[in-house]
């Protein structure tokens, strides 16, 4: 009579492991469905991350490439794989407490990776290492480099204009020529091509190279070529405007930027690298014979799969249990009296109001002194921070993305503040110095704000937070830096003003 398999034996085969991995992965996706849908919305709606839509299909293709070797391996559930899943849960918890979407998204991806490693085991995970960790490119990351890339692109374009004999004046991300006034906007920074090129280069490195030296050289070369080519594109757009009209240059830029640029750079990159490929088509990706060894830490799938699910569920449960209660803030927010300065209703050269969505109070006032210096003071108060009501984050702060002010460059500021130059049509230039006060700390660092928010949330501390912005317009004969420095000197302690604004005693 044919031998009948027991349930335990069935669970030890590929079918049982694939079923367990699918179940745990689906549970993780459902537990963190808000973050998964947020990532998908970014992939679909933000051109910078449109390439992420292809990553799941690329991962599936990479797994399919390895099927022949995988059939010669036996999956064995592995306890140490839960450590990676646990790290993802902690990462998500930190991101949730500090209201950092990047950490939440990173945590979800790491938890899915950890589930695969724990359920399939060490040997199978080594065979699938690249597809598993290529999943990091599902995470929308890289926006942090946009200001740096804007400045770099502007400098490259201005330098090339000088070589071409076109007079150009550079002011942050703005370039003035006899033809007009050009802004290297966020969309022109080249960030989306750099991020997509990095994902593409890493894929090519795995498929076409074996040498780590060549892989590193190819990736760095592809990234450098993307940055340089974007500077050339910006130069070409301004140069076309110089030779023809601004409207013609805009049309040229849209065609090059939208349809030709990335394909051209990919083609050039591959053409340069082609002679150096050292992996032939059809070469085995891994040697199954080398992955047959017994690895310490193996355990029953019936225990490890539920443990993986429990670890993933720990993060949202802990977040809910440790959420600190908000302390009340004063019902009204009054701007301070500053010795030597008087409130004034004099109009701004171009209307400016900082943006702090969800703030309990936002007050803005204008001051002048006996020497004619003019300074604007803004104070925003939060009783607590959470998603879409944060002290620092996208759209929060001195520049409203939906307004006409744009960030142009860093600016001078005290050690515990952030300085930036922003520009409005005209052009009107304004310097802004931003202080953030929370959990007893005054800082200008967004990272430190997130860290203090995390500490207050997880340890049950006081979540009240305050932003204080001191700003002045740049005008001939009235340097903004000097006016801001004089006002800050007379204003006194920023911490005392922040505590008084938030009702902290």
Give per-residue pLDDT as tens, 27-62: 999 999 999 999 999 999 887 898 899 999 999 999
pTM beyond 0.75, yes or no: yes
| pLDDT value at 372 more than 60 | yes
Q: Look at 426 and 131; give whichever has higher pLDDT.
A: 131
pLDDT in tens, 420-437: 999 998 889 999 999 999
| Three-state SS letters, 181-231 | EEECCHHHCCHHHHHHHHHHHHHHHHHHCCCHHHHHHHHHHHHHHHHHHHH
| pLDDT value at 239 more than 50 | yes
| pLDDT value at 118 more than 50 | yes
Q: Work out the mean pLDDT of the chain and round it to a whole number.
A: 88
Return phi, psi of residue 384, to 5°: -160, 165
What's the pLDDT score for residue 313?
95
Please report, for residues 187, 293, 352, 365, 473, the alpha-carbon distance to residue 428 in angstroms, rounded to integers and kept in the order given.
22, 68, 11, 19, 7
| pLDDT value at 200 more than 90 | yes
DSSP 419: E
Vertex 87 angle, CA 86 and 88, to 5° = 90
| pLDDT value at 225 more than 50 | yes
Closest CA to 423 of 326, 331, 352, 493: 352
What's the pLDDT score for residue 291?
82
| pLDDT value at 8 more than 60 | no
Please report, for residues 15, 123, 300, 355, the alpha-carbon distance to residue 119 in angstroms, rounded to integers and kept in the order given.
12, 11, 9, 46
Q: Look at 155 and 261; give whichever has higher pLDDT.
A: 155
Closest CA to 425 of 458, 440, 453, 403: 403
What's the pLDDT score for residue 139?
95
What's the pLDDT score for residue 191?
82
* CA distance linking residue 451 with residue 180, whole number of Å: 43
The verdict on whether omega for the bond into residue 427 sits within 30 degrees of 0, i.e. cis, is yes
Residue 431 and residue 405 in contact, taking contact as beta carbons nearer than 8 Å: no
- Burial of residue 142 (number of CB atoms within 10 Å: 0-12, 13-18, 19+): middle
Q: Which residues partner with 445 through β-bridges?
A: none
Confidence of residue 208 (pLDDT cuts 50, 70, 90): very high
| pLDDT value at 357 more than 80 | yes
Lookup: tokens for 169: 């004046």
Residue 433 and residue 72 in contact, taking contact as beta carbons nearer than 8 Å: no
Query: Which of 150-154, 278-282, 391-395 has the weakest average pLDDT?
Result: 278-282
What's the pLDDT score for residue 5?
42
pLDDT in tens, 65-102: 999 889 888 899 999 999 999 999 999 999 988 888 89
């Amino acid at each position: 009579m044919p031998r009948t398999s027991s349930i335990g034996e069935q669970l030890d085969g590929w079918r049982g492991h694939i079923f367990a991995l699918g179940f745990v992965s689906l549970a993780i996706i459902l537990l963190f469905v808000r973050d998964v849908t947020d990532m998908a919305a970014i992939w679909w709606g933000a051109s910078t991350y449109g390439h992420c839509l292809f990553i799941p299909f690329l991962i599936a293709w990479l797994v399919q490439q390895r099927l022949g070797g995988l059939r010669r391996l036996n999956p064995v559930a592995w306890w140490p794989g839960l450590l990676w899943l646990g790290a993802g849960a902690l990462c998500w918890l930190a991101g949730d407490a500090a209201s950092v979407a990047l950490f939440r998204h990173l945590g979800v991806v790491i938890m899915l990776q950890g589930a695969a490693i724990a359920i399939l085991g060490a040997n199978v995970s080594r065979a699938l290492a690249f597809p598993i960790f290529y999943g990091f490119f599902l995470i929308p990351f890289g926006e942090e480099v946009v200001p740096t890339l804007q400045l770099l692109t502007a400098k490259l374009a201005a330098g090339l204009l000088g070589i071409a004999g076109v007079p150009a004046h550079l002011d942050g991300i703005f370039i003035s020529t006899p033809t007009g006034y050009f802004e290297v906007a966020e969309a022109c920074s080249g960030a989306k091509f750099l991020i997509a090129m990095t994902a593409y280069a890493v894929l090519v490195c795995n498929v076409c190279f074996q040498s780590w030296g060549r892989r590193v050289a190819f990736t760095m070369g592809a990234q450098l070529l993307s940055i340089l080519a974007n500077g050339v594109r910006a130069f070409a757009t301004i140069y076309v405007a110089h030779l023809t009209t601004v409207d013609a240059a805009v049309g040229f830029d849209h065609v090059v930027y939208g349809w030709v640029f990335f394909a051209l750079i990919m083609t050039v990159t591959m053409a340069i690298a082609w002679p150096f490929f050292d992996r032939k088509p059809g070469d085995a990706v891994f040697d199954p014979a080398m992955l047959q060894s017994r690895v310490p830490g193996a355990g029953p799938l019936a225990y490890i799969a539920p443990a993986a699910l429990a670890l993933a569920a720990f993060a949202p449960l802990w977040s809910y249990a440790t959420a600190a209660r908000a302390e009340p803030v004063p019902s009204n927010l009054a701007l301070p009296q500053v010795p030597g300065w008087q409130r004034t209703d004099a109009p701004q050269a171009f209307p400016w109001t900082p943006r702090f969505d969800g703030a309990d109070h936002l007050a803005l006032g204008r001051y002048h002194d006996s020497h004619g210096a003019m300074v604007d003071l803004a104070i925003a108060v939060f009783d607590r921070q959470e998603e879409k009501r944060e002290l620092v984050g996208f759209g929060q702060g001195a520049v409203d993305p939906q307004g006409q002010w744009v960030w142009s460059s860093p600016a001078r500021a005290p050690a515990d503040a952030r300085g930036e130059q922003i520009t409005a049509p005209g052009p009107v230039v304004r310097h802004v110095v931003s202080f953030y006060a929370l959990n007893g700390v005054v800082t200008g660092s967004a990272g430190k704000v997130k860290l203090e928010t995390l500490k207050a949330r997880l340890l049950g501390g006081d979540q009240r937070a305050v932003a204080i912005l001191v700003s002045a317009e740049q005008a001939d004969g009235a340097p903004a830096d000097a006016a801001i420095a004089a006002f800050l000197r007379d204003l006194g302690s920023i911490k005392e003003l922040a505590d008084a604004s938030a009702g902290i005693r």
